[in-house]
Chain A
Amino acid sequence: DGGITQSPKYLFRKEGQNVTLSCEQNLNHDAMYWYRQDPGQGLRLIYYSQIVNDFQKGDIAEGYSVSREKKESFPLTVTSAQKNPTAFYLCASSINWNQGTGNTIYFGEGSWLTVV
């Protein structure tokens, strides 16, 4: 089935450790995104990528890093510099940032990260 796959679903990290969340899509979408959601809150954009080998910071990029070496993959690394990393992380994708008919963004099922 076509879709966006995030892994792992649940992840525990010790303080001071980096951790990488995986996001893979088989929708042939050009653009991919990472959002963070805290309990009871809306989504905040961390990073986005419009094409392969290019990405831009979102509203809360500090303490995070990404790469976009392949069209279908957009991994997110939560570094030790992120002061409050415990959250629900959502990956998303859309077909092409420059299409004018609505360009819907679709989401994965999310990954829970807990720092212990």
Chain B
Amino acid sequence: DAKTTQPTSMDCAEGRAANLPCNHSTISGNEYVYWYRQIHSQGPQYIIHGLKNNETNEMASLIITEDRKSSTLILPHATLRDTAVYYCIVRVPHDAGNMLTFGGGTRLMVKP
């Protein structure tokens, strides 16, 4: 699986959009981009994933650049409950181990 690079931490004001960047310059053609988040002492929560098109669901939007070397997770109206560590992962869904490799992630702090 390709490595990803994320900022260590970010702040966001409550009610504003939170834009979390991720670089994955070595991504290969069949690797998807996944985003998870983890609140302290809980299991990671799936947010969204995509291959090359932008995606949106009830939680967030995922914007993937045309060259697929980077992506941005957008939380349109951040709340205090969105404070968590956000992980960006790239992987081939059906590779031999179907594994997820988590790096350090971005610690998002939503402030009142």
Contacts and interface: CB of A to CB of B under 8 A. Distances in A.
Interface of A: 4, 6, 31, 33, 35, 41-45, 48, 50, 56, 58, 88, 90, 92, 94, 97-110, 112
A63 B104 CA distance: 24
Contacts of B44: 43, 90, 107
A107 B45 contact: yes
A102 B93 contact: yes
Contacts of B87: 42
Contact of A41 (B32, B49, B99, B104): B104
Interface residues of B, number: 23
B104 to A, nearest CB: 6
Contact of A88 (B41, B49, B51): B41
Interface string B28-59: 00001010100001111110010100000000
Nearest to A98: B94
Nearest to A33: B99
A109 B34 CA distance: 19
A100 B99 contact: no
B42 A97 contact: no
Contact of B94 (A6, A103, A109): A103
Main secondary structure of the interface of B (DSSP, over half): loop
Contacts of B65: none
B103 A97 contact: no
Contacts of A35: 102
Given A42-B87, A104-B49, A50 B43 contact: no
Nearest to A6: B43
A100 B93 contact: yes
A98 B95 CA distance: 8
Given A33-B100, A109-B42, 13 more contacts: A42-B87, A42-B102, A43-B44, A44-B102, A58-B97, A58-B99, A101-B93, A102-B49, A103-B98, A106-B46, A107-B44, A110-B42, A110-B43
Contact of B43 (A48, A104, A109): A109
B44 to A, nearest CB: 5
Interface in B60-112: 87, 93-94, 97-105
